[in-house]
Structure 1
Amino acid sequence: MTHDKPSLRRRKLLAAAPALALAGIAAPAAFGQGGYPSKPIRLVIPFAPGGVTDTSGRAIAEALSKRLGQQVVPDNRPGASGNIGSQQVATAEPDGHTLLVVLDGTFVINPHVYEKVGFDPMRDFAPVGKIGDSTIILVANPGLKARSLQEVIAVSKSQAGGLAYGTSGNGSITHIAGELLKQRTGANLTHVPYKGGGPAVADVLAGHIPLAFASAASIHGHLKAGKLVPIGVPSGKRSPQYPDIPTFVEGGVPRFDLNSWVGIVAPAKTPKPILDRLNSELNAALNDPAVREKLAGSGIGAAPGTAESFANVIRTELATYGSVIKAAGIKLE
C-alpha cells in the first residue's frame, strides 16, 4: 500500500504531461496572436508630415489597423534628421505597442555623420520588415552634352571645374550616391546641397547646375516631358517604374548597389511571437493591391520580406556607407 500512492501520483503526472506540454507550446502562440495587440499601437514617424516616410507610414498604419484589430496611430516626432523620434522608440516598452517607421538615412547614414545619434540601430531595435524601396535617378539638364553615365564621367574629367550635382542635403542618401560615384570612378563632381530634393531639381531644370540625384517620384512629370535627361539608376537592378533607365552597373560601374528604403522596427527585446505577427501582417498588407497603389503614389515600390533580410540590409549598408562617408569626410552638426 505504501508504494501504491506514489505510483498513482506518477501515473497521473504522466497522463497530464502531454496536456502540460501542449499548454507550454500554446502559451507563446496565444501571446503572439490572441493576446496582442491589447491596446492601440503608436507608430512613430520621425519626420514632419508630407514626406515619403510620413505618407508610406500612414498607408501602412491604416492597413495594419484593419488587420490587427486595434488602431495603429501615426505619431510624427520630427527633428535631427529622424534621430529624435528614433531615440524615443529605442527606449520605449518592448511590448509591440510602440513601433518606428525608419528611413535608410536615419539608420545607415546618421550614425556615421552625427557625433551622437542617441541610439544604436543594431543593438536598440528589432527589425519588423521593409515597407518598400524608393528609386533614385541621376538626371541631367538637356543642355549637358552627356546622355549616359560614362559620358557624364568623361565630361566631368574634361572640364577644369568638373560638374556640379545637386542633392536633398548634406549626408542624404543622394549625397552618398554622388560620393560613391566619385570614389569608384574618379569623376570630377562637386556636391551642391539643397534643403530638399525639390530645389535641387528646380536648379537643374533652370540650368543653374547640370546634374542632380533625385527621387523618381519627384521628377516623373519632368522626365515624361523631356525636361530632364535620365542618366542612370544607382541600384543593383532596374526600377520597375522606369524599366528603360539603365543601372550604374550597366553603365560600367561594378557592384554599385545603392537604394533608398523605408521600413518598420520595434524596440529591442520585443518578444519574437509579436515580431513574427507584425511581419506577417505587414507582408499581407504589402501584398494588397490597394496598399501597393498607395505606396506607388509616394514613389515607393512595396517590398515584402522577412525580418532577417531587412536586418541584413541594415547591417550591410551600415558598413558600406560608413566607409564612403569616412573617405568623403562628411560630418553634420
Structure 2
Amino acid sequence: METTLHHPNRFTRRRWLPAAAALLALAGGLVAPAQAQDAWPAKPIRLVVPFTPGGVTDTSGRLIAEELGKRLKQQVVVDNKPGASGNIGTALVKSAPSDGYTLVLGFDGTMVINPHVFSKLPFDTLKDFAPIGKIGNATLILVAHPDVPAKTLGEVIALSKSRPGGLSFGTSGTGGTPHIAGELLKMRTGANLTHVPYKGGGQAMTDVLGGQIPLVYTAVAGAHGHVKSGKLRAVAVSSAQRTSALPDVPTFIEAGVPDFVVDSWVGLLAPASTPAPVVARLNAELNAVLADPAVREKLRVMGIEASPGSAEHFRDEIRRDLARYGPVVKAAGISVE
C-alpha cells in the first residue's frame, strides 16, 4: 500500500499565512496614522484669539494667521473668544482635540499673570498647553502729561515721593502686564505710585491726554503717535534695548533701574499632547514667517519686535515669567475672584 506523506512545507504554510496576514494588518495600522500625520494639515486650522477684535494682540494674530496659511496651504481662521481677561478662549483651546487644528494666541497677561491673579483658573499654563513659539515682544512705555513737572524717570520718582498722595498711573486694567510693571517699579524704587485701572488702554490714554491723570503705563503702539506729536512726554521704555519706534526714549535700565525689563509678549500654543512633528512644523513655519522683512515691519508698526525661536525656548520663558510675576502679584495684593 502506498502511503501518502504530507509535504513538510504544507503544514508550515498553513501556520505562516495567518501570521503573515496579522503582520500585514499591524503594519497597515502603523502606516495609516503616519500617513495621516504626514498629510497634516488636511483642513483649515482655527486660531482662537481670547480677546475682542481690533486690539494689538488681535491684529498681530490675524497677520500671523494669514502668513501661516500661505505657507501651510490651508486657511488659518481667527476665532475671537473674549472674556475673563483671556481665560475663556484659552480654556476652550485647552479642551480642544490635540490634533494641530486648534491653536491659541497666547498673551503673557493670560498665560503667566492670570494664574497668580485669579483664585480659580480653568487651565494650567504648563500642563495644558504645548508651546509652539513666540511671535514677539510688545514694548511697554511710561508716559506723562506735559504739565507734569518731571522729565526723567528719576525726576518722576522723586516727585512721587515728595507729594503726600504720590502720583497716579493708569493702565488698561487690573492684573495686566502694564499694571504688574508699575507695581514692580514701585517695589524696585520706592516710588509713591497709585494704580488707576481702566477698561482698556484707550480710556487710560484719553484721560492722560486730558490731564485727568499724570501718568500712563501702556504699549508703545498706543502712545507712539501722541509722543511724536508732543501731546505726551515719554519717560522710559521697559525693554532691554531702546525701541526702534522711539529711539530717543531711554530704557528703565539706562534711567537707573538695573535689570528692569518687563515686556508684554504674544505667541502660539496648542493643546497638550499635540504630536511633536506637528508642533515642530508649526514652529518652523512660524519662524519662517517672522524672518520675512515685510512681516517684521508690520509687527514693528504695531509696537511688536519679532522674536523667532524654538518651542523649547518659549516654554522656558513661560516658566521663568510664571515664577517671576508671582511674588509681584502677591506683594501688590492683586486678586480677582
TM-score by length of 2: 0.88
Aligned to 2:119: 115
The one-letter code matched in structure 2 to 1:244 is D
Aligned to 2:56: 52
Q: Pairwise mapping of residues 136-285 of structure 1 onto structure 2 (< 5 A)?
A: 136-285=140-289
Residues in 2 aligned to 1:66 and 1:139: alpha-carbon distance in whole angstroms:
39
Q: CA 1:116–1:290 in 2, change beyond 3 Å: closer, same or farther?
A: same
Gaps of 5+ in 2: 1-7, 9-29
Q: CA offsets, 1:142-181, max 9 Å, x none?
A: 1111111111111111111111111111111111011000
Q: CA 1:306–1:29 in 2, change beyond 3 Å: closer, same or farther?
A: farther
The one-letter code matched in structure 2 to 1:166 is G
Deviation at residue 135 of structure 1 after TM alignment: 1.3
Q: How many residues align?
A: 310
The one-letter code matched in structure 2 to 1:143 is D
Aligned to 1:106: 110
Q: Contact conserved, 1:31 with 1:273, CA < 8 A, in 2?
A: no
Q: CA offsets, 1:51-95, max 9 Å, x none?
A: 112111111111111101111111111111110111111111111
RMSD: 1.9
TM-score by length of 1: 0.89
Gaps of 5+ in 1: 3-23
- Pick aligned residue for 1:302 from 278, 299, 306: 306
Residues in 1 aligned to 2:241 and 2:217: alpha-carbon distance in whole angstroms:
17
Residues in 1 aligned to 2:254 and 2:88: alpha-carbon distance in whole angstroms:
39
Higher mean alpha-carbon deviation, 239-248 vs 258-267, is at 239-248
Is it true that 1:134 corresponds to 2:138 in the alignment? Answer: yes
Q: CA offsets, 1:4-34, max 9 Å, x none?
A: xxxxxxxxxxxxxxxxxxxx9x9998666x3
Residues in 1 aligned to 2:32 and 2:252: alpha-carbon distance in whole angstroms:
50
Q: Which runs of 4+ in 1 moved over 3 A?
A: 26-32
Residues in 2 aligned to 1:244 and 1:187: alpha-carbon distance in whole angstroms:
24
Higher mean alpha-carbon deviation, 214-223 vs 123-132, is at 214-223
Residues in 2 aligned to 1:121 and 1:238: alpha-carbon distance in whole angstroms:
30
Q: CA 1:282–1:29 in 2, change beyond 3 Å: closer, same or farther?
A: farther
